[in-house]
């Protein structure tokens, strides 16, 4: 019935191979950044040893490498640095993915978890636990922080949505403006809470600027499954996100239940934002710059955009975190400062380049 495959069709299917190689390349990059980030610090460990130590922790595969490192080195990497690196990677995955989803749903290049207020809301929720959750056990804290952050994120999202809603739907411009207003409000509440925190001030302050104060394995064990499951769930809707770029009405006519899809995706991305925020504090710009970089490099198709943004975001945040730890050693800078220093100029470049694009 159908005629011979043409060159165009062959090239179309080759694209899937290209996608696979992009994923492979970015995974290697991530592994490399994680190794490098584990190696640097007050007590330098060679890169081969760092890699060896990390691989050694993996069951089965670990038996293949023999140790030429000291027990101290192993302890530093396994107990101190690697959980921190891993939580930076997870936060990068979460924030970048949430950025892709928000930009896709709202068809707006400026949308990200921060602009929409979701991150500030999550931060508010998390900070409540950090400052007032004295009664919790340490494991209780690990669950309570992301849980309250999620509540804060969803609450903010509903608030922003309600404010932006008009009779004829939710105009993007109103949504962004409402997001910015609510975001500023929660940011100032957060500042106020920190200023009045007294003893807890230092902890809260470090957390707020992405200092990853919680770097224990327990936390990673909680955050990793949530983030990875959400990532898989979001990826299942990648093709729907593509179709939604055509506009809500056309998406509906192409069989996407737009309202349901929006709700699902907003809840999923709020959840990963909340988990990331409770782990890393408010690390700005990752959710904004990574999706844009990836769109410029590999195109708008969410089926490759989501995984590649996740991997690239992870690498970026791991490297930024490593830079924050080493640039002004022995002072450990908040990661948020490094990402903002990278992100703000990029944001400005984006603004200048896309002058013709209006909301």
Partner 1 sequence: MVTLRIYGVECYYGSVKVLENVSFSIGSGELVGLLGPNGSGKTTLLKTISGTLKPKVGAVYLDEAEIYGMKSREVAKNIAVVPQNTGTDFDFTALDVVLMGRHPHISRFKFESEKDLAIARSAMELTNTWHLAERHINELSGGERQRVIIARALAQQPKVLLLDEPTTHLDINNQLEIMDMLKGLCSEKGLIVLAVFHDFNLASRYCDSVILLNNGKIVSVGNLDEVLTSENIRKVFHVDAVVKKHTLTGSLYVIPISQKRAETSINKKFRVHVICGAGTGTQLMKTLIEEGYDVTAGVIHVLDTDYETAQLLKLPVISEAPFSPITEENYRANLEMISKARAVVLTAVPFGYSNLRNLEAAKEALELGIPTFIIDDVPIKQRDFTMGKAEKFLSELEGKGAVYVRSQSQLLSLLCKLREKLKQKEASVRVH
Q: What is the DSSP string of 147-166?
A: HHHHHHHHHHHHHHHHHH-B
Q: Which is nearer to partner 1, 197 or 293 (CB)?
A: 293
What's the rounded Cα separation, in Å, for the pair 88 and 349? 26
Q: What is the DSSP string of 254-319?
A: TT--HHHHHHHHHHHHHHHHHHHHHHH----SHHHHHHHHHHHHH-S-HHHHHHHHHHHHHHHHHH
Tokens of 222: 């909680």
Q: Which is nearer to partner 1, 255 or 330 (CB)?
A: 255
Query: What DSSP character marks residue 122?
Result: H
3-state secondary structure of 183: helix
**Using alpha carbons only, how large is the chain's radius of gyration in Å?**
21
Say if CB 349 and CB 293 are below 8 A apart: no
Q: Which is nearer to partner 1, 140 or 169 (CB)?
A: 169
Q: Which is nearer to partner 1, 10 or 66 (CB)?
A: 10
Q: What is the torsional sign of CA 46, 51, 57, 63? A: negative
Q: Which is nearer to partner 1, 4 or 66 (CB)?
A: 4
Q: Which is nearer to partner 1, 137 or 168 (CB)?
A: 168
Q: CA geometry: angle at 230 spanning 225 and 236, to 5°?
A: 130
What's the rounded Cα separation, in Å, for the pair 167 and 174? 13
Interacting residues toward partner 1 by CB under 8 A: 2-3, 5-6, 8-9, 11-13, 16, 107, 167-168, 236, 239-240, 242-243, 245-246, 249-250, 252-257, 299-301, 303, 357
- Bond into 330 cis (ω within 30): yes
Query: What DSSP character marks residue 77?
Result: I
Length of the chain measured in residues: 359
Closest separation in Å from C-beta 167 to partner 1: 6
What's the rounded Cα separation, in Å, for the pair 254 and 248? 10
First to last CA, the chain: 46
Closest separation in Å from C-beta 312 to partner 1: 19
Closest separation in Å from C-beta 300 to partner 1: 5
93: nearest Cα among 254, 280, 245: 280
Closest separation in Å from C-beta 11 to partner 1: 7
Closest separation in Å from C-beta 358 to partner 1: 10
3-state secondary structure of 123: helix
Q: Which is nearer to partner 1, 189 or 298 (CB)?
A: 298
Q: Which is nearer to partner 1, 21 or 167 (CB)?
A: 167
Q: Which is nearer to partner 1, 66 or 167 (CB)?
A: 167
Closest separation in Å from C-beta 311 to partner 1: 19
Closest separation in Å from C-beta 156 to partner 1: 28
């Amino acid at each position: 019935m159908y005629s011979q495959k043409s060159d165009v069709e062959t090239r179309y299917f080759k694209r899937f191979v290209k996608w696979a190689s992009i994923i492979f390349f970015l995974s290697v990059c991530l592994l490399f950044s994680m190794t490098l980030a584990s190696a640097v610090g007050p007590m330098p460990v060679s890169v081969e040893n760092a890699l060896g130590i990390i691989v050694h922790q993996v069951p089965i595969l670990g038996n293949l490498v023999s140790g030429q490192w000291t027990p101290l080195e192993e302890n530093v990497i396994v107990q101190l640095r690697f959980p921190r690196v891993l939580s930076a990677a997870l936060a990068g995955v979460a924030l970048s993915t949430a950025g892709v989803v928000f930009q896709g749903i709202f068809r707006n290049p400026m949308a990200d978890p921060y602009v929409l207020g979701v991150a500030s809301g999550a931060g508010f929720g998390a900070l409540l636990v950090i400052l007032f959750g004295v009664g919790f056990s340490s494991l209780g804290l690990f669950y309570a922080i992301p849980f309250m952050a999620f509540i804060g994120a969803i609450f903010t999202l509903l608030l922003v949505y309600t404010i932006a809603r008009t009779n004829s739907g939710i105009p993007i411009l109103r949504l962004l403006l409402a997001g910015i207003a609510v975001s500023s409000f929660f940011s100032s509440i957060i500042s106020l809470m920190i200023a009045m925190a007294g003893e807890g001030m230092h902890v809260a302050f470090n957390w707020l600027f992405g200092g990853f104060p919680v770097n224990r394995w327990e936390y990673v064990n909680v955050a990793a499954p949530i983030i990875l499951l959400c990532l898989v769930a979001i990826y299942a809707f990648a093709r729907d996100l593509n179709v939604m770029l055509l506009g809500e009405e056309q998406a509906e006519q192409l069989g996407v239940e737009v309202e349901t899809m929006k709700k699902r995706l907003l809840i999923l991305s709020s959840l990963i934002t909340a988990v990331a925020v409770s782990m890393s504090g408010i690390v700005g710009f990752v959710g904004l710059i990574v999706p844009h970089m990836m769109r410029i490099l590999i195109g708008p198709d969410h089926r490759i955009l989501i995984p590649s943004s996740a991997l690239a975001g992870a690498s970026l945040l791991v490297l930024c975190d490593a830079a924050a730890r080493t640039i002004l050693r022995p002072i450990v800078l908040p990661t948020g400062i490094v990402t903002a220093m990278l992100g703000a100029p990029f944001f400005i470049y984006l603004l200048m380049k896309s002058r013709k694009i209006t909301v």
